[in-house]
Structure 1
Amino acid sequence: MDKLLIVDDSPEICKQLKWGLGKQYEILLAEDVSEALRLFRQHLPVVVTLDLGLPPDADGASEGLRCLELMLAQRPETKVVVLSGNEDRANALKAVEAGAYDFYHKPIDLAELKIILERAFQLARLEMENRQLQHSAKQRQGQMNGIFGECPAMEAVFSTIRKVAAADIPVLILGENGTGKELVARAIHAQSLRKQGPFIPINCGAIPENLLESELFGHEKGAFTGAATRVQGKVEYAQGGTLFLDEIGELSLPLQVKLLRFLQEKILQRVGGREDVSVDARIVAATNIDIAEAIRAGNFREDLYYRIGVIALELPPLRDRGDDIRLLAKLFFSRYLGEFGKKIKGFSPAAELALKSYDWPGNVRELENRIKRAILMAETPLLEPADLGLAPDVALGRDLSVAGLSLRQARDQLDHDMLIAALKRHRGNVAKAAEDLGVSRPTLYDLMRKHSVDSSRVE
């Protein structure tokens, strides 16, 4: 039942209103400002009737106006209906100018007052629903199809996704390993006109070159040893939907030629076949390499780039996303805390500082892995840097001196030292070192190339 606060120093009026309105509302009664404000703070009614002539200024309007001001200062959305005599019309208008919803002249006609109050409650409900919708919309702005972010760079990514999703053209997603390229591809598909069709992903860098052509375009029976039946490729499976070519920069030049023909003509031939197969599929591709450099080096066809890169969407690395690191850390914390059933309250101040200052070479994927590992390993109510594997004195057995270094130089030094330490702990085993650091093997190899580290020579 809606709560109605009645503020009036007249016992007769209070009795009349309680009797006349008690079946519709939960009535709260106050005879002075202090009692009115106490009940207001305690119950937060959305509608108030207010007599301006309250003690100690029962013949004036100062106390009533003061009460109105204090209520609206606390909750501006409150609907205050001022009850006044005909001689108080000027003060009633002052009250409306100060933010009162309406005024009603005494003597009170319950039927008329009920209509005013009903409208006030209805408006209050509509405004509350509108605020809730705006709040929900604001929350949704920070995420899209499982991608979370509130920094300007991610807002630009979300905006681009919305624009390109409906246009049935190829999209090339650029970004470092772990930045969420497949999530973006799925978001584009989910908001496209092809969303009812299949989303078919294939990692061009994870399949041996001699098998990749068959995996992409299929093969005919007898095309090669072991080809006992006709098999459709990923491209055909994407009919009517979206084909996501992850790490397209790893395609060999001959396969690039065959893919270019498909993009131009929308037809393909299976391995060992001569029949043209027509396929209607949208291509979304992704890579972490420098495409311009690959073209200059002759490793990637320029004409293919122009076909797949009609729209190029670059994802920011996690280190450049500011407070998104904290946002994502808390998201992963909530997710895995429930999954693992651990009783951990959150992050210590030192852990939050470590999260913010670390360079995140493995980006969002590395952050997720470190949070998951920390929850499993933690033995205290708060996650500490050591749980995340980010404390220099724990990871390296010493303090990291950064005197005279820029922030980027200090981060590079920390990356280098942690990389060496992990490889030493696991005697050069790249797979175990990557798992220890919470990054993928490709990311670890990228770090090793960046810092000129040879795992076979780490002692």
Structure 2
Amino acid sequence: MLNSVIVVDDEASIRSAVEQWLGLSGFAVQPFSRAEDCLAQLPAHFPGVILSDVRMPGMGGLALLEQLQQRDADLPVILLTGHGDVPMAVEAMRNGAYDFLEKPFTPQTLLDSLRRALEKRQLVLENRRLHEQADQKSRLEGTLLGMSAGMQQLRRQVLDLASLPVNVLIRGETGSGKERVARCLHDFGPRAAQPFVALNCAAIPEHLFEAELFGHESGAFTGAQGKRIGKLEYANGGTVFLDEIESMPLAQQAKLLRVLQEQQLERLGANQSISVDLRIIAATKPDLLEEARAGRFREDLAYRLNVAELRLAPLRERREDIPLLFAHFAHTAAERLGRSAPALNAAQLGRLLGQDWPGNVRELANAAERHALGLGEPQPLVATAGQSLAAQQEAFEAQCLRAALARHKGDIKAVMEELQLPRRTLNEKMQRHNLLREDFLDRP
């Protein structure tokens, strides 16, 4: 709350009077008689102002100011001083205090100082929020690569959903990057410091499924030696990623639904329920509701999982991202091997753009690694029917435009000269391929 004030003063009468004045003026006041208690209970990124007496038993106001400055140099601290403490308070302002009020002070003087301090605090926190958003956007662009309209939309959706306490269903073909997107939803959200547990439901034998998810007590079944913590319990406080969720046995779907509804689970062989705080991110290739209508998936669980849905476009629907992704994978592989990746010529690039890539990003990464190793032409492992000439030309044109814009850091005149295009034609092509000059500017 941006009307929050913490009052630290060892005199109960002053605390009471200040709390009353500020309460009548709409402030939320939290009083403390000791500076030590204030420090112990101060939340991170406190959105308000600290109002502290200078002279107190134990830690005084100046020592409190020093501790607060170490935590957050922009946190406004207003000191309350007696007449003899004024030179000391002036020195404290040089060291970071926002203001000082000499006792006795009027309620209006206090209110004026607090309101100015809160305005400053609001600006500081808003500036931090904007910087954090810009930093997250930059980090996400380096993780979910691609400049196509679909990838730009996906990154916006990931940033929006990462901070929300909702389950997410990711739809996409094999190799399209579902686990990477799930990891970003975790890493860019408030659970980032907690466990991220990934499970492929198709890879777990059905007879081991329940023990794998829920754990077991010693002797729960033949071979159950000792207590074992299941994946769901281990992920408490964090995120569980369930890939190929459509493969989960129906009996375990019912147990998972109970965990989602009640936020509790029981180990095999146990009678005691264990509270868990989990975010579930599931991934699937087929439509879960169609699976439910066919009797292969629980409809109630499908709705529980699909609070929000992200669709990952296959590579054939975002061909303009292929050169960037290929270059990234080839560079990464070459760097790991201590060599330079051979450059692509126009014919090789055209062949990359003309493939359908049924294995999507995973298949492209494999082709790029083979190219970095010098194991022949960069092509997919499975040959597929090519696109029409017009579709290949469009994808190649988009890549040429993007490469020129990147080389010249958004300098339109330089791009016009390199590609020998008039301004109007360049503008039309950039608009058709959803290319914005601002995305290529060389920002500090």
- Shift of residue 142 of structure 1? 8.8
Please name the residue that 2:230 is paired with: 233
Q: CA contact under 8 A between 1:354 and 1:391: conserved in structure 2?
A: no
Q: CA separation in 2, counterparts of 1:224 and 1:389?
A: 50
| 1:268 equivalent among 265, 270, 294 | 265
| 1:348 equivalent among 320, 338, 345 | 345
Q: CA contact under 8 A between 2:244 and 2:283: conserved in structure 1?
A: yes
Please name the residue that 2:287 is paired with: 290
Amino acid at match of 1:178: G
Q: CA separation in 2, counterparts of 1:359 and 1:139?
A: 32
Please name the residue that 1:198 is paired with: 195
Considering only CA atoms, is the larger Rg found in Structure 1 or Structure 2?
1
Amino acid at match of 1:388: P
- Shift of residue 292 of structure 1? 2.8
Q: CA separation in 2, counterparts of 1:194 and 1:170?
A: 13
1:256 matched to 2:253? The reply is yes
Judged with a 3 Å threshold, the aligned counterparts in structure 2 of structure 1 residues 138 and 321 are, in CA distance, closer, same or farther, namely farther
Q: CA separation in 2, counterparts of 1:218 and 1:391?
A: 40
Residues 322-401 of structure 1 mapped to structure 2, 5 A cutoff: 322-378=319-375, 386-390=376-380
Judged with a 3 Å threshold, the aligned counterparts in structure 2 of structure 1 residues 260 and 407 are, in CA distance, closer, same or farther, namely farther
Judged with a 3 Å threshold, the aligned counterparts in structure 2 of structure 1 residues 176 and 319 are, in CA distance, closer, same or farther, namely same
Q: CA separation in 2, counterparts of 1:332 and 1:212?
A: 35
- Shift of residue 348 of structure 1? 2.0
TM-score under structure 2 length normalisation: 0.55
- Shift of residue 241 of structure 1? 0.8
Q: CA separation in 1, counterparts of 2:380 and 2:318?
A: 19
- Shift of residue 322 of structure 1? 2.5
Please name the residue that 1:315 is paired with: 312
Amino acid at match of 2:236: Q
Amino acid at match of 2:362: R
Amino acid at match of 2:378: L
Q: CA contact under 8 A between 1:142 and 1:148: conserved in structure 2?
A: no
Residues 9-408 of structure 1 mapped to structure 2, 5 A cutoff: 143-144=140-141, 146-378=143-375, 386-390=376-380
Judged with a 3 Å threshold, the aligned counterparts in structure 2 of structure 1 residues 335 and 287 are, in CA distance, closer, same or farther, namely same
Q: CA separation in 1, counterparts of 2:242 and 2:251?
A: 16
Judged with a 3 Å threshold, the aligned counterparts in structure 2 of structure 1 residues 145 and 138 are, in CA distance, closer, same or farther, namely closer
Q: CA contact under 8 A between 2:162 and 2:185: conserved in structure 1?
A: yes
Deviations 1:190-218 (A, max 9, x none): 11111111111111111111111111110
Structure 2 residue runs of 5 or longer lacking an equivalent are: 1-130, 393-444
Q: CA separation in 2, counterparts of 1:151 and 1:249?
A: 29
Judged with a 3 Å threshold, the aligned counterparts in structure 2 of structure 1 residues 407 and 263 are, in CA distance, closer, same or farther, namely farther
Please name the residue that 1:115 is paired with: none
Q: CA separation in 2, counterparts of 1:150 and 1:373?
A: 24
Residue 197 of structure 2 aligns to a residue in which SS?
A: strand
Judged with a 3 Å threshold, the aligned counterparts in structure 2 of structure 1 residues 241 and 250 are, in CA distance, closer, same or farther, namely same
Q: CA separation in 1, counterparts of 2:341 and 2:282?
A: 40
Residue 310 of structure 2 aligns to a residue in which SS?
A: strand
Q: CA contact under 8 A between 2:342 and 2:372: conserved in structure 1?
A: no
Residue 298 of structure 1 aligns to a residue in which SS?
A: coil
TM-score under structure 1 length normalisation: 0.53
Q: CA separation in 2, counterparts of 1:311 and 1:281?
A: 16
Provide runs of 4+ in structure 1 moved above 3 Å.
Answer: 137-145, 342-345, 389-392, 405-410
Judged with a 3 Å threshold, the aligned counterparts in structure 2 of structure 1 residues 269 and 376 are, in CA distance, closer, same or farther, namely same
Q: CA separation in 1, counterparts of 2:264 and 2:135?
A: 44
- Shift of residue 152 of structure 1? 0.7
Residue 244 of structure 1 aligns to a residue in which SS?
A: strand
Residue 388 of structure 1 aligns to a residue in which SS?
A: coil
Deviations 1:43-71 (A, max 9, x none): xxxxxxxxxxxxxxxxxxxxxxxxxxxxx
- Shift of residue 390 of structure 1? 4.7
Amino acid at match of 1:387: E
Q: CA separation in 2, counterparts of 1:376 and 1:223?
A: 51
